[in-house]
A and B are shown apart, each in its own frame.
Chain A
């Protein structure tokens, strides 16, 4: 399986579209960092102005940890598109190119083909997030320095001490990885049903947008299904910056995301095994 996964990684690495994600992350993070570097104090004044009458904030609030937190908030929503760009192409790209015929005529099971593609997709996703972490956390800390993190919510503020942050960022990126792997699994599953890449990529984004809209609508009718939508749990990384942390909610979200992953990959394996390769 590792050999097959490595072959899939070689193919991903050779495709120009695989680098769009890395370039996009680099550009977006750099822009945010530049903006913070140039006018971060104004931004800080803006987010703290509502609490200045109640609190006196001292110290350097604009630091690498805050910039990283801002980057994560902005990018976690966009990265699924970058993951779908590669995940949606994994099987349908082979069909469009015609190589799926050769691939499926080789002495490897179709289940192995799908699983190796899924694992390769996971590794690609991990690489994207690792790159994001390097840029958003380590570069930001280099440029802006270390410090306590001010987390402002609509109904509360939390200040987390600098020495208490590294593991929180690691866990947040870990659960964000699981959320993005779910997106990769969804796009892989849709990719099995299509002979071109555009369909699965667009469909993945459409599903995410639809589920996100349902998740944010304050309609009682949707309340019963919201806990079962994977998009509801994609923002659970945020919980690692709560004090106290809701571990039960984190465990529940992890479970829901895992179940979705298994479901999507199982459907992909079943459908690909049943499929007549006609392309």
Chain B
């Protein structure tokens, strides 16, 4: 992946009266990234994405997209972006096809019928293009929203909470579509989500914000590898395990001990060493299960900011 920054925010702030929604936020999205944008409700995610789309003007700071300042090159930049902001709203009294044609025209292209058909098929709405949008379910609108965001073939796709309202099958399908767009078509994708495991599954880089501030940014693997793994070692019933651990240097890393399992907090490298320690003490291990939860990491960071 190239390291050329496609989106760059520098010390961006947005205030509404005395309320500071975004506080000196800096971040950069590289070309080819699937960039996760995480934060609890009211953390400033949507405000930031809206500023990126010029829906809201920053109080201070600078935003550059495709290497150009946003406000001075607004139309050029927006013609290369596809987006769903907050929820996919359409003209309910028009058909899905008409909505797609209309928004594509506003993006500067006049799509052919074939292009619209192909896009509807890509998002799983083939055969429903001539239905009025008011007859669509939320999940169908999300799909239509994605079709709208993609029809003018943008380089950067910005999606605000795209999983909201989707059923599990819809979430998996959306994830696969986004991965396809990123890996097969080279699209850069920036998405916010409160479904944290979803970000873990899909994003290559991410930022976590809280109270409008950047509290962590980097590649998902880097950020998560720095974290301890919560690992459960299960074994055949053995009453001696507690004393074996209590008399060792591992006792400080132990979360809980029972006669048939021990839960420890270890780094990736330490898992193998602890396993060898148990084996050397004649403990017959039946399974090892490690959990590295983005949710735990996320909560720890969020709670650290006051």
Contacts and interface: CB of A to CB of B under 8 A. Distances in A.
Nearest to A3: B105
B55 A276 contact: yes
Contacts of A107: 74-79, 106-108
Interface in B66-106: 74-79, 81, 83, 85-87, 89-94, 98, 102-103, 105-106
Between B75, B81, B89, B108, the greatest number of chain A beta carbons within 10 A of the residue's beta carbon is seen for B89
B271 interface: no
Contact of A98 (B54, B81, B86): B86
Contacts of A97: 89, 91-92
A3 B105 CA distance: 8
- Interface residues of A, dominant DSSP: helix
A16 interface: yes
Contacts of A109: 74-75
B258 to A, nearest CB: 53
Interface stretch (A7-15, A22-30, A49-57, A166-174): A7-15
Contacts of A4: 106
A14 B91 contact: yes
A96 to B, nearest CB: 10
Interface string A138-164: 000000000000000000000000000
Contacts of B56: 276-278
A7 B94 CA distance: 12
A105 interface: yes
B52 to A, nearest CB: 9
Contact of B93 (A3, A7, A15): A15
Interface string B41-63: 00000000010011111000000
A104 interface: yes
A32 B86 CA distance: 50
Interface in B90-133: 90-94, 98, 102-103, 105-108
B148 interface: yes
B86 A7 contact: no
A101 interface: yes
Nearest to B99: A99
A130 interface: no
A106 B78 contact: yes
Contacts of A105: 53-55, 78, 81, 83, 85
Contact of A101 (B55, B78, B94): B55
A102 B104 CA distance: 11
Contacts of A103: 106
Contacts of B148: 102
B55 A7 contact: no
A108 B94 CA distance: 21
A7 B106 contact: yes
Nearest to B56: A276
Contact of A277 (B55, B74, B94, B107): B55
Contact of A7 (B50, B53, B54, B102): B102
9 contacts: A4-B106, A99-B90, A101-B89, A102-B83, A105-B83, A106-B103, A107-B77, A107-B108, A276-B57
Report, nearest first, the 5 A-B pairs whose CB atoms are least far apart. Answer: A98-B89, A107-B79, A277-B55, A107-B75, A106-B106
Given A4-B106, A105-B53, A105-B85, 6 more contacts: A97-B91, A102-B85, A102-B103, A107-B108, A109-B74, A277-B56
Interface of A: 3-4, 7, 10-11, 14-16, 97-99, 101-109, 276-278
